[in-house]
Structure 1
Amino acid sequence: MHLKAFVIEDNATIRENLIGTLEELTCVQVAGTSATEAEAMAWLSQNADGWDLVIVDLFLKQGSGIHLAQCIKRTRPTQKIVVFSNYINASVRKRCAQLGVDAVFDKSTEIDSLVDYCAHQCFRIAQAQTTAA
């Protein structure tokens, strides 16, 4: 059982460290990555059912994480969108909530909270599969 994630992050070091951490500490399996809004939208539209979790930075090599969060179409109610950025403040959190983002984490202070969130999503999926069986 895996939580399929798509990571949208333009900093390669941060992206690789995040993937390593999530795959080591949780059931997250990264299905794909992108550094730009256009690449992300293309992948997401071609893989509408290929993800359970999108993790998106606000500032990308090209485009905006906020715009992506607004445009991402969920095909299942269990799909989650998470913002993970260095530029988190009260107004960003409010805007993300208005857009239906499921969680917001500050890269500099909330990596443990992101890992905990992902672990909880893994548990939730495992519980749903057990109940369905």
Structure 2
Amino acid sequence: MALFTFLVEDNRTIRENLIPALEDLAGVQVVGCAETEAATIEWLAAHADEWQLLIVDLFLKEGSGLGVLRSCARRAPQQRAVVLSNYVNADIRSRCKALGADAVFDKSRDLEAFFDYCNSDAAPTGST
């Protein structure tokens, strides 16, 4: 069964490459995308029960992934939010976790772990 996923990524090239990779390598079905914090928050509010995995980049066209994490802190227990960014360090990882991220992955170093996480149905035990 597909993992219904919402992708928050403002880089079109990354989206165009990541979506097919997610579908092929992780059995993910991307149900929507947004480029800004506000558009993401609006979509999540209107579709609260229609996603299982939220993939969030930190730097967006407007707002930030941190604001997105803050906005979905009270999501359902089966819904997971993960950060996939080029800007991951110990401080960012800690801030993301404090805001409710289930896992944090670096785009340049952690893609294999990220896909493994998605393949584990985004189980909490798969978080980094």
Give yes or no for TM over 0.5: yes
Task: String of CA shifts for 1:40-97, please: whole Å, max 9, x gaps.
Answer: 1111100000100000000000111011101115442110000000000000111111
Structure with bigger gyration radius: 1
Q: How many pairs align? A: 123
TM-score by length of 2: 0.91
Task: String of CA shifts for 1:4-52, please: whole Å, max 9, x gaps.
Answer: 0000000001012111111001121000000111111111100000100
**Counterpart residue identity of residue 111, structure 1:** L
Partner in structure 2 of residue 63 of structure 1: 63
List alignment gaps of at least 5 residues for structure 2: 124-128
- Measured in 2, the distance between the counterparts of 1:73 and 1:90 equals 21
Partner in structure 2 of residue 128 of structure 1: none
TM-score by length of 1: 0.88
Instruction: Write out the 4+ residue segments of structure 1 that deviate beyond 4 Å after TM superposition.
Output: none
**Kept in 1: contact 2:73–2:99 (CA 8 A):** no
List alignment gaps of at least 5 residues for structure 1: 125-133
**Cα RMSD (Å):** 1.2
